[in-house]
Amino acid sequence: MDVQKIRNDFPILQRKVNGKPLVYFDNAATSQTPIQVIDTIVEYYNNYNANIHRGVHTLSQEATELYELARQKIQKHFNAAQAHEIIFTSGTTHSINIVSNGYAQILSKGDEVIVSALEHHSNIVPWQMMCEKTGAVLKVIPMNEDGVLIMEEYDQLLSNTTKLVFVNHVSNALGTVNPIEEIITKAHAVGAEVLIDGAQASPHIKADVQSLDVDYYVTSAHKLCGPTGVGMLYGKQSALNRLPPYQGGGEMIAEVTFEKTTYADLPHKFEAGTPNIAGGIGFGAALDYLNTIGMEEIAAYEEQLLKYATTALNNIPGVKIYGVAPQKTAVISFNVTGIHPYDIGSILDQLGIAVRTGHHCAQPIMDFYQIPGTVRASFSFYNTFQEIDSMVEALKKAIQMLQ
C-alpha cells in the first residue's frame, strides 16, 4: 500500500492539534473519513436531496436509486444472500436493540441467553432489559487473564433452553478476535440463534455472513471510514421475518386502517420514517473506498503496525498491556504503573496524540482486571510507523512529568 497517498485522501490528517501534527490513534471509536466519501455526501445534497421510496418525481427516484445501490454494496461486501436482508439503522446500538426488542416479544420465562465477558455495553444492556421484561436468564462466557474467552465454559453454558447467543466479533477494549465460527456452530447445535456485534471487526475483517451461517450481524459505518449515524443490521430472511417491527410509522406499512395495520415486506418492515439517506449513500461509498484498497491488504498492514507498537510499548518500564490474545486486531490497551490513564491521555493530547482513555464502554472487563480504565491506542491503515514513534516519545515525556 502507498500509505502516504492514502493519507492524502484524509483532510483531517493534515491539521495540527495544540501546535503539533495530529496523530490519530482513536480509530476504534471512530475512523476518519476520506475525501471520496465526503464528496459523495456533498454531491447528494447538491444534486439529489429528496425523500426516497415515496415520490414519482425525478429527484426522489434518483435518491432512491442511490440509496438502494448502497444497500446492494453492503450486501455484496458482507456476502448476504439478498439485499433485503440488509436493514439500514442508525448504527450498531440501534441494530442490536431491534433484535433485543423483537426477542422481548418471543422469549418466555426460563429461556436462557448467553453473552460474553468481552462485550461493549451496547451488547449487554439491551439484553438485560430484555431479560427483565421476559424473565429470561442471562449467562456469561467468562474470560481469562489474556483477554480470551474460556470456550470450555461456553460448552457448559449451552443447553436446550438456550435461545440466543450474542458476542462481539472483536473486543473494542482489548482487540481480541473471538472464535465466532465455533460459537455459531455450537449455538446452532442446540437450536439457538446468534447475533454477532461486528462493529470493531468490520474495519479489519471482511465477514462473510453466509459462510459464517450467522443469524444476525451488525456494524456501524463510522467504524469503516463512513459517516456517523448510520449502520446496518444483517439478518437471515427467516430470522427477520420472525421478529416484530421495532418502530411504527411511515414506510414500514403495507396497509393502514384504524382497525388494523399490515406491515411491509423486508427491508421496509424495520425502516420506519425518513432514513439517513446521505449517510446510507456515504456508507456505500466508504465500502467502495475500502475495497479499492483491499481489505486483506489493510489487515496485513495493520498487523505490522500492531506488532511494531506492541514491541515499542513493552520496552517502556512500567507499561502493562491488557489483552494479549494470539488473535488481535490493531488495538492496544495499556496502563503505566502508578499513573491514572486519564492523566496519560491528557498529556498525550497536549502533544498532538489522540488516544482514548477510560473503560471504553466495557466496564466488566475493567472490573475483571481491577483497574479504573486503560489508555487505548487503536490503529488504522492510514497510520504510520513514524506516528507510533511519536506516541512512544510522547508517552515517555508524560511518564517523566507524572512520576
**Residue 256: its pLDDT value, please?**
58
Residue 140 pLDDT greater than 60, yes or no:
yes
pLDDT confidence of residue 253: 56
Q: How far apart are CA 361 and CA 122, in angstroms?
A: 8
Confidence class for position 199, pLDDT limits 50, 70, 90:
very high
User: What's residue 182's pLDDT?
Assistant: 98
At 276, is the pLDDT very low, low, confident or very high (cuts 50, 70, 90)? very high
Give every CB contact of residue 258 below 8 A, 6+ residues apart in sequence. none
Q: What is the DSSP letter of 377?
A: E
Mean pLDDT value across residues 28-45: 98
Q: What number is the average pLDDT over the span 322-335?
A: 97
Q: Please give the Cα distance from 218 to 341 (Å, whole number).
A: 30
What residue type is 283 in one-letter code? Answer: F
Q: How far is CA 43 from the centre of its chain?
A: 27
Helix count and strand count (H, E) for the chain? 14, 17
Per-residue confidence band for 244, with pLDDT thresholds at 50, 70 and 90 = confident
Query: What secondary structure does DSSP assign to 87-135, as a single string?
Result: EEESSHHHHHHHHHHHHTTT--TT-EEEEETT--GGGTHHHHHHHHHH-
Which of the pair, 252 or 151, is modelled with greater confidence? 151
Contacts of 5 (CB under 8 A, 6+ apart): none
Q: Are the beta carbons of 60 and 54 closer than 8 angstroms? A: yes
CB 30 within 8 A of CB 230: no
Judged against a pLDDT cut of 60, whether residue 178 lies above it is answered with yes
Per-residue pLDDT at 94? 96
The three cell numbers locating residue 37: 466519501
Reduced 3-state DSSP string for 181-197: HHHHHHHHHCCCEEEEE
Residue 357 has pLDDT above 70, yes or no: yes
Query: Which of 138, 321, 361, 402 is flagged as catalytic?
Result: 361
Neighbouring residues of 147: CB distance < 8 A, sequence distance ≥ 6: 118, 171, 174, 176, 322, 323, 324, 325, 365
Pairwise pLDDT comparison (220 vs 54), residue with the higher score:
220
Q: At residue 317, does pLDDT exceed 80?
A: yes
Q: C-alpha 18: how far from its chain's center?
A: 30
- pLDDT value of residue 103: 94
Whole-angstrom Cα distance, residue 68 to residue 52? 10
- The distance between the two most distant Cα atoms of the chain, rounded to a whole number of Å, is 72
Contact 10, 34 (CB under 8 A): yes
Q: What is the DSSP string of 30-97?
A: -----HHHHHHHHHHHHHT-S-SSS--SHHHHHHHHHHHHHHHHHHHHHT-SSGGGEEEESSHHHHHH
Q: Which residues of 54-80 are buried (b: 16+ CB within 10 A; e: fewer)?
A: eeeeeebebbbebbbebbebbbebbeb
Q: What angle is formed at CA 184 by the lines to CA 179 and CA 189, rounded to 5 degrees? A: 130
* Mean per-residue pLDDT over the chain, rounded: 95
Strands 331-336 and 319-322: antiparallel
Q: Once rounded to an integer, what is the mean pLDDT over residues 159-182? A: 97
* pTM: predicted TM-score of the whole model, two decimal places: 0.95
Which among 390, 400, 262 has a CA at the least distance from the CA of 344? Answer: 400
**Contact 22/348 with Cβ under 8 angstroms?**
no
Whether 352 contacts 21, CB under 8 Å:
yes
CA distances from residue 245 to 75, 123, 132, 219 in whole angstroms, order as listed? 21, 20, 20, 19
pLDDT number for residue 388: 98
Domains of the chain and CATH, by start: 3-30+295-402 (3.90.1150.10), 38-292 (3.40.640.10)
Residue 263 has pLDDT above 70, yes or no: no
Look at residue 258 and tell me whether its pLDDT is greater than 70. Answer: no
Report pLDDT for 203: 97
pLDDT of amino acid 175:
96
pLDDT of residue 120: 85
131 among known catalytic residues: no
How many CA within 13 A on the CB side of residue 363? Answer: 4
Question: For position 5, what pLDDT does the model report?
Answer: 97
Whether residue 165 contacts residue 194, with contact meaning beta carbons closer than 8 Å, is answered with yes
Percentage of residues in the chain having pLDDT higher than 70: 96
Q: Which three cell numbers stand for residue 138?
A: 442471562
pLDDT in tens, 22-35: 999 999 999 999 99
pLDDT score recorded for residue 250: 61
Per-residue model confidence (pLDDT) at position 255? 65
- Helix 295-314 vs helix 277-293: crossing angle, to nearest 10: 80
pLDDT of residue 8: 98
